[in-house]
């Protein structure tokens, strides 16, 4: 009899636990917020994401760790976190795509600048040629201008791109795009300002060869 009562009690507890898991997603606190540990639906996740984006865009989002001092031990941990790790091309493209989306939505204002003076003047040169082009093409490295079928054009600032040698990042972008059969044209901002005719001729020659 005692064993039967114990078994019945255990069975009730198991059923109660199962029912609790089913209802957990419906449980809210007094403020109407979901209780911690519930499985969040895609609809709710999207709503939270959109709200957060809106707050960041309007400058309402407060970064909780802003102004706090970081311990030396934590600095060392962060400094060695990615050390020696090799990122795949797929991973880099995914990160690049995510950043471009954030920039386009105004979530990272002031971090990535486009439509700079070199870009504006290079745009004028391409417009004089009279050919269609795309800006900020969704390719690895994000070419400033892209002309079909495969011409990637970059306007490189002297400071940010380490004149006259270029950066390791630029070399990596060139290598990857060239391996994908793209033609790379890079122009220093000093040349864009001072030698527009030469740049125009170089772009025109590349277009003729591509066609």
Please count the other Cβ atoms lying within 10 Å of the Cβ belonging to residue 38. Answer: 15
Structural domain contains residue 132: yes
pLDDT of residue 96: 77
Structural domain contains residue 145: yes
**Of 24-33, 132-141, 166-175, 188-197, the least confident:** 24-33
Find all residues with CB under 8 Å of 129, minimum gap 6, and list them. 200, 203, 204, 207
> What would the pLDDT profile of 101-127 be if each residue is shown by its tens digit?
665 555 444 445 567 889 999 999 999
Q: Which of 191, 141, 145 is nearest to 171 (CA)?
A: 141
**Residue span of the structural domain in which 172 resides:** 117-210
Find all residues with CB under 8 Å of 114, minimum gap 6, and list them. 103, 135, 136, 144
pLDDT of residue 41: 72
Domain count, the chain: 1
Query: Alpha-carbon distance 44 to 50, whole Å?
Result: 10
pTM value > 0.75: no
> What would the pLDDT profile of 17-51 be if each residue is shown by its tens digit?
555 554 444 455 555 555 555 556 777 778 777 87
């Amino acid at each position: 009899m005692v064993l039967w009562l114990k078994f019945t009690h255990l069975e009730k507890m198991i059923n109660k636990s199962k029912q609790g898991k089913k209802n957990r997603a419906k449980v809210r606190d007094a403020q109407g917020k979901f209780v911690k540990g519930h499985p969040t639906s895609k609809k709710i996740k999207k709503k939270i994401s959109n709200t957060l984006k809106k707050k960041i865009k309007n400058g309402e989002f407060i970064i909780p760790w802003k102004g706090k001092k970081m311990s030396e031990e934590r600095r060392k941990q962060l400094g060695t976190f990615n050390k020696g790790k090799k990122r795949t091309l797929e991973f880099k493209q995914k990160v690049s795509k995510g950043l471009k989306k954030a920039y386009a939505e105004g979530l990272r204002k002031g971090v990535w600048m486009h439509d700079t003076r070199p870009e504006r003047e290079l745009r004028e040169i391409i417009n004089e040629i009279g050919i269609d082009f795309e800006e900020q093409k969704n390719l690895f490295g994000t070419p400033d201008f892209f002309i079909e079928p495969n011409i990637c054009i970059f306007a490189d600032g002297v400071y940010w791109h380490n004149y006259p040698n270029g950066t390791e990042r630029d070399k990596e972008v060139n290598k990857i795009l060239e391996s994908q059969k793209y033609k790379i044209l890079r122009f220093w901002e000093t040349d864009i300002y001072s030698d527009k005719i030469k740049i125009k001729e170089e772009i025109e020659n590349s277009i003729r060869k591509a066609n």
